[in-house]
Chain A
């Protein structure tokens, strides 16, 4: 397996634009997590899914953020509209039996 695949690796967008981050989890994993990492706040859990169902979205900072998992092999995190303070590295991770495997992340810069 190629591991957790995230796209794009880098995204630069203007304030107010919609941004969509994509994730392909490891096949067979039943959990999927979206994290955000910044210098100021460290690693934050935004939302996670179990068997494609959102379980806990209490970490989603605002209504501008939304996440979907339409099937077991794909998830998206959308920010609409984006703001400069959303600039961060966004990680997707999938897990099975408690061990999480992380993607390489998407570095988002909102200017």
Chain B
């Protein structure tokens, strides 16, 4: 069965430092992977996706994610964190073999950026 795991409930980082939010996945075929962000009292917003091609994908707000097939990971990164990046981040996977838009979300990681 397809699944994603976000091993960290919370990540703390100082403003200006690089940040990484971890995600690992398990699917039967080649995965479609996504990152979403949720700000307080808002719905989830799409950040970026990996379908195929370059393993490093760039998204909104300066975020990027690296797809690593051998480690089945899709970690979210940003070179320099901002206080405004503080939010809840969700990794998600869609199994293309099932021919559906249904996404399986991770449990979320709360990112706290300190001034």
Cβ–Cβ contact A91 & B43, under 8 A: yes
A104 to B101: give the CA distance in the assembly, Å: 20
Contact of B90 with A98 in the complex, beta carbons under 8 Å: no
With CB as the reference atom, state the residue of chain B lying closest to A32.
Answer: B101
Residues in A with CB closer than 8 Å to B107 are 42
| Tally of chain A residues near chain B (CB < 8 A) | 24
- Report chain A residues within 8 Å CB of B36: 100
Instruction: Kindly report which residue of chain B lies nearest to residue A6, judged by CB atoms.
Output: B43
Count how many chain B residues have C-beta atoms less than 8 Å from C-beta atoms of the other chain: 20
Which residue of B is nearest A107, CB measured? B41
- Interface membership of B100, Cβ < 8 A: yes
Contact of A105 among B43, B45, B46, B108 (CB under 8 A): B43
Complex Cα gap A33–B101 (Å): 10
* Contact pattern, B 85-114, Cβ under 8 Å of A = 1, otherwise 0: 000001000100000111101011000000
Cβ-defined partner of A98 (8 Å) among B32, B42, B45: B32
Does B56 belong to the interface (CB within 8 Å)? no
Which of A11-19, A48-56, A78-86 interfaces with chain B? A48-56
Do B45 and A100 touch (CB < 8 A)?
no
**Separation of A30 and B101 alpha carbons in the complex (Å):** 9
- A39-96 at interface with B (beta carbon < 8 Å): 42-43, 45, 48, 50, 55-56, 91, 93, 95-96
Whether the pair A4, B43 counts as a contact (CB closer than 8 A) is yes
- Minimal Cβ-Cβ distance residue in B for A99: B46
- Check: A31 CB closer than 8 A to any chain B CB: yes
Is B49 within 8 A of A93, CB to CB?
no
Query: B23-37 vs A: 1/0 string, CB under 8 Å?
Result: 000000000101010
User: Shortest 4 CB-CB distances between A and B: which pairs?
Assistant: A102-B43, A31-B101, A95-B101, A102-B44
Q: Supply 29 A–B pairs (Cβ within 8 Å), ascending by A.
A: A4-B43, A30-B101, A31-B101, A31-B102, A33-B102, A42-B105, A42-B108, A43-B90, A50-B100, A50-B101, A55-B100, A91-B44, A93-B43, A93-B44, A97-B101, A98-B32, A98-B34, A98-B51, A98-B94, A99-B34, A99-B46, A99-B49, A100-B46, A100-B103, A101-B46, A102-B44, A103-B43, A104-B41, A104-B43
